[in-house]
């Protein structure tokens, strides 16, 4: 099977307000949404939490690693949008929002996102 590379969108110039709008749009469209945490003092593996979207969003700031990705995978498999962030400080929290490609494309178009390197 042929693997199609994922498309990472350039989000470096987005303001925190624009990033929040993208996260909120992705949450509204999400097929799946969850939060993991990584506490390296306990484990080197992320653990699923019961933290809500609203709770993890209180941790979101300019220091977080924010991503918008078109996950393409193997030809013929379902493709998805992945939007989220990692707090990257102390106990790291990861927000995962999985959308359809159509919803991802709408978000990309509204916010005029371009693939990295283009």
Q: What is the pLDDT of residues 105-117, one digit of tens each?
A: 999 999 999 999 8
- Mean pLDDT for 86-108 is 96
Domain-located, residue 118: no
The total domain count for the chain is 1
Domain extent for 15 = 3-110
Domain-located, residue 9: yes
Token pair listed for 18? 């624009």
Domain-located, residue 53: yes
CA distance 118 to 115: 6
Domain-located, residue 22: yes
| Tally of CA atoms within 13 A in the half-sphere of 115 that contains its CB | 8
| Residue 117 pLDDT | 83
CA distance 103 to 66: 18
Q: Is 63 helix (H, G, I), strand (E, B) or coil?
A: coil
- Mean pLDDT for 54-65 is 96
Domain-located, residue 116: no
Q: pTM value?
A: 0.93
Domain-located, residue 115: no
Percent of the chain surpassing pLDDT 90: 86
Among 24, 23, 51, CA closest to 37: 51
Domain-located, residue 106: yes
Domain-located, residue 117: no
């Amino acid at each position: 099977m042929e693997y199609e590379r994922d498309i990472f969108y350039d989000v470096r110039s987005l303001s925190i307000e624009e990033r929040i709008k993208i996260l909120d749009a992705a949450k509204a469209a999400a097929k799946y949404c969850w939060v993991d945490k990584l506490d390296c003092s306990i484990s080197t593996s992320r653990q699923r939490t019961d933290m809500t979207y609203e709770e993890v969003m209180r941790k979101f700031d300019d220091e977080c690693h924010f991503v918008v990705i078109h996950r393409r995978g193997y030809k013929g498999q379902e493709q998805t949008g992945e939007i989220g962030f990692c707090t990257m400080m102390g106990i790291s929290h990861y927000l995962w929002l999985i959308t359809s490609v159509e919803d991802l494309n709408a978000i990309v178009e509204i916010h005029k996102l371009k693939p990295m390197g283009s």
